[in-house]
Structure 1
Amino acid sequence: MESTRQQKYARLIQKELGEIFQRDTKHMFGKAFITITLVKMSPDLGFAKVYLSIFMAEDRNEMLAQINERKSQVRKLLGQRIGKQVRIIPEIAFFIDDTEDHAHKMDSLINSLEIPPADETDDTED
């Protein structure tokens, strides 16, 4: 379970990285729309797992590879934004958030079930 400090730090990183991907890195990643869905911090606040949702990209895995190639630039931009608020700028690891894909898969499975209609018998006796 994450401490309150880890959660607060994670929210700050999520907010700032979201703004970085929306404003500051458009030239790096083209038309791709990248959002930060979740950030998990290590107990020492030195490492952040960042889960991304990537839209309008032809290949999400290729886009993730591009993001990882420019990880140091993204971390530098993050440091410029939060450097006065925190002691440590964490190392960052990016992952694709597959929650939406999992939800679509579950929806399609549920919709494909053949559930017979319930019997409409009257159980009341007068």
Structure 2
Amino acid sequence: MVMSSNVTKLKLLRELCRDAKKNKKPTLSQRQLRVGELIKKSLSDFLQKDAIHDPELQSISITITQVMLSPDLKKANAYIIPLGGDNTETIVSALNQHSRYIRGKIATSLSLKYIPTIYFREDDSFKYAAKIDTILNKISQELN
């Protein structure tokens, strides 16, 4: 009995480590972080104040959790979470369809030499944290 519970714990810990290696994000330079924060603030202001005439984006509150830039600052991945978490894929695809318009609008508020191309992505960090929490709860229940 003790042997099987140890094997189960070991399997859960291996799964946790494997997932952590998959979701490891590269380190960013100070410039990437600074420009990412500027774009995040500008995107948040734009999505809060300006209207995009798309029925899928009407009256939806969107949170920009993070903006990660490529090393050459030409591409930006904006990670979003819609309030309520409903229809995330449709909201992401609608934002990606309007990304050129959004890029043009935020360019006026940013004083950068080059405004990066923005790709909207679903932020799955909360799902990942919930998965880790579930695994840790299983381990703690088996220990008791």
TM-score normalized by the length of structure 1: 0.79
Matched residue count: 115
Aligned ranges 1:28-107 → 2 under 5 Å: 28=54, 29-56=57-84, 58-82=86-110, 85-107=111-133
What is the Cα deviation at residue 58 of structure 1? 3.3
- 3-state secondary structure, aligned to 2:112: coil
1:80-103 per-residue CA deviation (whole Å, 9 max, x = no partner) reads 211xx1111111111101011111
Query: Is 1:35–1:53's contact at 8 Å kept on the other side of the alignment?
Result: yes
Match of 2:137 among 85, 100, 111: 111
Unmatched segments (≥5 aa) in structure 2: 1-26
Residue 51 of structure 2, aligned match among 22, 25, 28: 25
Q: Which residue in the other structure is 1:122 paired with?
A: none
| Residue 24 to residue 71, structure 1, CA distance change in 2 (3 Å) | same
Q: What is the CA distance between 1:57 and its match in structure 2? A: 5.6
Higher helix content, 1 or 2: 2
Deviation track 1:14-56 (CA, whole Å, cap 9, x = no partner) reads 1111111122136541222211111111222211111111223
Structure 1: tracts of 5 or more residues without a match: 118-126
Larger Rg: 1
For residues 116 and 90 of structure 1, do their structure 2 counterparts lie closer, same or farther at Cα, with a shift above 3 Å needed? Answer: closer
